[in-house]
Structure 1
Amino acid sequence: MEDRLFRNAMGSFSTGVTVIVTETNEGTHGMTANAFMSQSLEPRLIIISLKEDAHMLNKINESGFFSVNILSEEQQDLSMIFAGQVKSAKKVEFDYLDGKPVISGAIAQITCTVKSEYVEGDHTIFIGHVTEVHLEGGEPLIFSKGKYRRLEKAGVTANSD
């Protein structure tokens, strides 16, 4: 099977867009990722997956913590900045939740300590123990088939027979 066929098939699955953030002695670091999911309610665990050559991998190993920031539909510019798709002259400001850096205005901010990690294929899977959550209003930024998308509000009508 060709790599492009596999990538296109995986890209058919629409996801939210997150920015993973951590902090080391060298400063605050972030990267855009859509490989994120909840794993367990008790205990509260989430999963992120990072490619083996991602700079963020060493940063999380150094810090032992990270935050997952689910971006709003108004934050596409931040997604592109942290994905390295655009350079920005503006400095990204971070808030703090539970002593960990988070993206201001994200519709959900989830802070975690690293519980465990597993190397599988060309990625490292981090299991994060959730330490705090903050929610904001707004609609999520969506990524599907290589493009940013927005949710369309569906009208629901009741059939009155």
Structure 2
Amino acid sequence: MDSQVFKNIMSRWLTGISVITTNYEGEIQGFTANSFASVSIDPFLISMSVGKTLYAGDLIQKSGTFAINILTKDQAEWGKLFAGFYSDRENRFENIVYSTTKSGNPILPGVFAWMDCRIYQTVDVGASTLILGEVTDGSFSVEGEPLAYFHRQWGHFVADE
């Protein structure tokens, strides 16, 4: 399989956009991710994939906790910011008034939903680490629409009426 063909195939899968955040000894980090899924309802488990070269992934491993911020369609700029589109922004949390979970992980204001997780299990999978997280807390909004990613485009989902 050619890597570009694989990327093109995967770009045809509609996903949501989230910002994964963590706090290790006062150092906060965040990154944009769309490789996130529900795994189990008993216990409450999610999975996400983190590239091994990602510094935030190291902090998640050290802290043992992370939060998932599910973005609304109006928060595409945050998705791009935490994806590294703006290389001049060294501190991605600068000028963002965020709250924190009980475990200290940042929650961006006005997100569609959020979950606080602790590492349940990790699996070495090639260039990434698969993290199973046990959801310990969370909340959601009934207002708004989620931010979506499809075919390398950022947008939103329009439901049939």
Deviation at 1:69, TM superposition (A): 0.8
Aligned residue for 1:25? 25
Q: What RMSD in Å do the two structures reach over aligned CA positions?
A: 1.5
| Cα distance in structure 1, aligned partners of 2:64 and 2:36 | 17
Aligned residue for 2:154? 148
Q: Does 1:99 align with 2:93?
A: no
Q: Which amino acid aligns with 2:157?
A: L
Matches within 5 A, 1:9-88: 9-86=9-86, 87-88=88-89
Q: TM-score, normalised to structure 1's length? A: 0.90
| Cα distance in structure 1, aligned partners of 2:121 and 2:41 | 16
Q: Which amino acid aligns with 2:75?
A: Q
Check the 8 A contact 2:71/2:112 in 1, yes or no: yes
SS class of match (1:69): strand
Q: TM-score, normalised to structure 2's length? A: 0.90
Check the 8 A contact 2:118/2:134 in 1, yes or no: yes
Q: Does 1:138 align with 2:144?
A: yes
Note the residue ranges of structure 2 that are not aligned, 5 or more in a row: none
Aligned residue for 2:120? 115
Matches within 5 A, 1:122-133: 122-133=127-138
Is the deviation greater in 82-91 or in 47-56?
82-91
Note the residue ranges of structure 1 that are not aligned, 5 or more in a row: 156-161
Check the 8 A contact 2:117/2:134 in 1, yes or no: yes
| Cα distance in structure 1, aligned partners of 2:97 and 2:8 | 34
Fraction of identical pairs, as percent: 28
Q: Aligned residue pairs: how many? A: 155
Check the 8 A contact 1:98/1:131 in 2, yes or no: no
Deviation at 1:99, TM superposition (A): 3.5
Is the deviation greater in 87-96 or in 131-140?
87-96
Check the 8 A contact 2:48/2:131 in 1, yes or no: yes
